[in-house]
Amino acid sequence: MNRPRGLRARIAAGFAAGALVLSAGMALVSYGLTRTSLLEERERTAIRAAYFNATIVNAGISGDQPDVLEVLRSLDTGTNRRPVLRRDARWYARSADSGITDAIPQALRQLVEQGRPAVQRIRAGDGPAIVVGVPLAGGTAFYQVDSLTELDRTVQTLALVLIAVAAMTTGAGAALGWYTTRRVLRPLALVADAAHDIARGDLTARLDPAADPDLTRLTGSFNHMVDELARRLERDRRFAADVAHELRSPLQTLAAAGSVLTRRRAALDDRTATAADLVAVEIQRFQTLVNDLLELARSDQPARREPVDIAALARQVCRSRGLPDDIVEVAEGAAVTWHVDRRRVRQLLGNLVDNAVDHGGGPVAVRIGGAGVTGQLDVDDEGPGVSPEDKDVIFDRFVRGRAAAARGSSDGTGLGLALVAQHVAAHQGRVAVLDRPGGGARFRVELPGCLR
């Protein structure tokens, strides 16, 4: 299941990643810079203070019997700054500052004892600190340990703030990406809507070329495509109309002349009469064929739905074919007002009834039912039924039942059931041939959306 992610999701992710990289970079740089400058500032302060204090201590211990501790105590250091003195291999520290001497690194002590001032950042027991060592006269060394805990906390807070800002920026980037793609994809939605309208048969649907100058190419190509499509459909329609005219005009002559022949049949000798009959029958079939072909050629037209009394229509169809209209049965509780294309449903029913007459010994029932919004029509006959291999192809064009083929004669055109399938498809419905309980075939048509 590796479903590709949507364009919007991918673009939003891209925006988020970009925002993350940018904001994280910015955060890292500002963190580094701030931390460095804060530390340096602190270090300078510490060194200044150390020299100042060292000067005081130096003055304080220059006497004969100096009270070293008193001198240290006299320093104004605050709580974060702890001075210690090493003199004659002994440590001197204020009582509160005892134990700090361990934290002073050996290397620093050596430097200072060699007479060179030194600074080092260390990690003391209670947090980071900075040690400044200042050599005094007579091998005495003054050390000052400045706690950096407060600074460290400040830097940590800064880091947290920067991380939060980076996260928020990333989120904002994703949101911006989502919003932008919605804006960017809106024209595509318009294209999709227009394409949908066109697919439904509305060839007047176009995109507004003035909507956005950046999309001129898209709207231009799209509208051009629809123009071409409309032109082509119009050409096909015209062709069908032309063919119709060219076929129908000679057929009219044949039909009229044929009826003159038929009317005079009694006056003809047997051979001529038989020939006249053949001509009349074939003219009839030719007419049906031309009409059916034209109907098929018009397949692209959508169904024009309107309220239709389906039971009345079915009875009409039966009567018009000389069948009793009491074979029409309406299932109990079934609605008879259907929203369908009257012309299509009339022809559909007529063709199913004709099929039952031609191949099934006549229809025994035309049943009207339905469930939900779907209307159901059954046309039953008591004929030989439809063999399984025929069931798949019976709705194809120019397929006639095996029985008819074996007889070598049929009044059908082989298009009747293809037209049924087409009319059903125009209603987004389904048609199937089933076995009728008790023998025979049952043609079942289901038309969704015709009951409301």
Partner 1 sequence: MAGMMRPVTAVLVIEDDNRIRLSLMLALEDEGYTVYGAATAEEGLLLHRRSPVDAVVVDLMLPGIDGFECIAQLRVQDDVPIVVVSARDDKRDIVAALEAGADDYVVKPVAIEELAARLRALRRRLRAVVPRADDVPTLVFGDLEIRPEAGEVRLCGEPVAVTRTEFRLLCELAEHPGRVLSRQQLLQRVWEYSIGDERLVDVHVGRLRQKIEQDSGTPRHLVTVRGLGYKLQR
C-alpha closest to that of 317 among 377, 369, 361: 377
# of chain residues touching partner 1 (CB under 8 A) = 30
Does 244 sit near partner 1 (CB under 8 A)?
yes
Least distance between partner 1 and beta carbon 197 (Å):
21
Place of tokens 């898209």: 218
User: Which stretches of 384-448 are DSSP H helices?
Assistant: 388-393, 402-407, 416-426
299 binds partner 1 (CB under 8 A): no
User: Which residues touch 380 (CB under 8 Å, ≥6 apart)?
Assistant: 356, 363, 364, 365, 366, 367, 436, 440, 441, 442
As measured in angstroms, the least distance from the Cβ of 260 to partner 1 is: 5
Closer to partner 1 by CB, 70 or 306: give it.
Answer: 306
Position 98 contacts partner 1 (CB under 8 A):
no
Which CB atom, from 166 or from 317, has the smaller least distance to partner 1? 317
Query: Please, what is the minimum distance in Å from the beta carbon of residue 366 to partner 1?
Result: 16
Residues 35 and 67: their CA atoms lie apart, in Å, by 40
37's CB contacts (< 8 A; 6+ apart) are none
CB of 372 to partner 1, least distance (A): 21
Q: Compute the distance between CA of residue 429 and CA of residue 421 in angstroms, rounded to an integer.
A: 9
Q: For the segment 335-364, give every residue that binds partner 1 (CB under 8 A).
A: 337, 342, 346
| Nearer to partner 1 (CB atom), residue 24 or residue 254 | 254
Q: Residue 391: how many CB atoms within 10 A of its CB?
A: 15
By CB atoms closer than 10 A (0-12, 13-18, 19+), residue 8 is middle
* Residue pointed to by tokens 């009728």: 436
Residues 182-241 that bind partner 1 (CB under 8 A): 241
Please identify, among the stretches 212-220, 228-236, 315-323, 404-412, the one whose residues bind partner 1 according to the rule CB under 8 A: 315-323
Residue in 251, 289, 331, 403 binding partner 1, rule: CB under 8 A: 251
Phi, psi of 90 (to 5 degrees): -130, 145
Does residue 253 touch partner 1 according to CB under 8 A?
yes
Q: Which residue lies nearer to partner 1 by CB, 141 or 283?
A: 283
The full DSSP string for 4-31 is: PPPHHHHHHHHHHHHHHHHHHHHHHHHH
Minimum distance from residue 387 beta carbon to partner 1 (Å): 33
Q: What is the 3-state secondary structure (H, E, C) of 37-82?
A: HHHHHHHHHHHHHHHHHHHHHHHHCCCCCCCHHHHHHHCCCCCCEE
Residue 231: strand, helix, or coil = helix
Q: Does residue 287 bind partner 1 (CB under 8 A)?
A: yes
> Which CB sits closer to partner 1, 257 or 405?
257
Q: Which helix (H) or strand (E) holds 380?
A: strand 374-381
Is residue 288 close enough to count as binding partner 1 by CB under 8 A?
no
Stretch that binds partner 1, among 70-78, 153-161, 257-265, 372-380 (CB under 8 A): 257-265
Please report where in the chains the tokens 């500002």 appear, as a residue: 30
Smallest gap from residue 295 Cβ to partner 1 (A):
10
CB of 409 to partner 1, least distance (A): 21
CB closer to partner 1, 285 vs 391: 285
Answer yes or no whether residue 281 interacts with partner 1 by CB under 8 A.
no
Please identify which residue in 72, 141, 194, 317 interacts with partner 1, judged by CB under 8 A.
317
Of residues 94 and 237, the one with the C-beta less far from partner 1:
237
| Comparison of 157 and 252: residue with beta carbon closer to partner 1 | 252
Give the neighbor-by-neighbor strand order of the sheet with 81-87.
Answer: 90-93, 81-87, 141-147, 127-135, 118-124
Nearer to partner 1 (CB atom), residue 109 or residue 342: 342
Selected from 231, 263, 265, 407, the binder of partner 1 by CB under 8 A is: 263
346 Cβ neighbours under 8 A, 6+ residues apart: 313, 316, 317
User: CB 255 → partner 1: shortest distance, Å?
Assistant: 4
Q: Residue 288 has which token pair? A: 């049906």
Q: Binding to partner 1 by residue 452, rule CB under 8 A? A: no
Interface ranges with partner 1 (CB under 8 A): 241, 244-245, 248-257, 259-260, 263, 283, 287, 294, 306-307, 309, 312, 316-317, 319-320, 337, 342, 346
